[in-house]
Amino acid sequence: MTPDDYDAVHTCWMSCTGMGLNTIDDSRQGITRYLQRNPATSFVHETSDGTIDGAILAGHDGRRGTVYHTAVHPNHRNQGIGTALVNATLHALANEGIINVTLVVFTKNTAGNTFWERLGFTSRDDLTYRNKALRHITRIDT
């Protein structure tokens, strides 16, 4: 994924419910900044006509990898696109020396939780996820 993919990736994200996007982190500027820090760990999937129908945004801090957004357009699901994107990201993270990958899925995102469980990602009941916004952010409903 490159910053030039932003419009098509954002369109893909917006086709998926429950993405949890916001107007700062997921803006063109926010994604460009993220991809500059993590240039080799996020990927897109394109149809034969070049339309982006899947994307994964992931990176690392030098110790742990994190997957932030994974989306496959609803009309293109159950074709192995999501699994291929995850495998590409896991391979890229492993190549950068990362041995542990985390992600957050909203509890109400049943399809997302099922997908990640099928790929071997376990849920943890020993953590409390906490968050503090340093600036006001607006969630984008999808």
Instruction: Compute the distance between CA of residue 83 and CA of residue 116 in angstroms, rounded to an integer.
Output: 9
Supply the DSSP symbol for 132.
-
Instruction: Compute the distance between CA of residue 37 and CA of residue 33 in angstroms, rounded to an integer.
Output: 7
Q: Name the burial class of residue 129, with classes exposed (0-12), middle (13-18) and buried (19+) by CB atoms within 10 angstroms of its CB.
A: exposed
Of the candidates 80, 60, 84, 70, the one whose C-alpha atom is nearest the C-alpha of residue 9 is 70
Catalogue all structural domains in the chain, each as residue range(s) with its CATH number: 3-140 (3.40.630.30)
Instruction: Report pLDDT for 142.
Output: 60
Asked if 124 contacts 13 with a C-beta cutoff of 8 angstroms, the reply is no
Return per-residue pLDDT of the chain as tens, 142 residues.
999 999 999 999 999 988 889 999 999 999 999 999 999 999 999 999 999 999 999 999 999 999 999 999 999 999 999 999 999 999 999 999 999 999 999 888 888 899 999 999 999 999 988 888 888 888 887 6
Instruction: Report pLDDT for 66.
Output: 97
Instruction: Report pLDDT for 46.
Output: 97
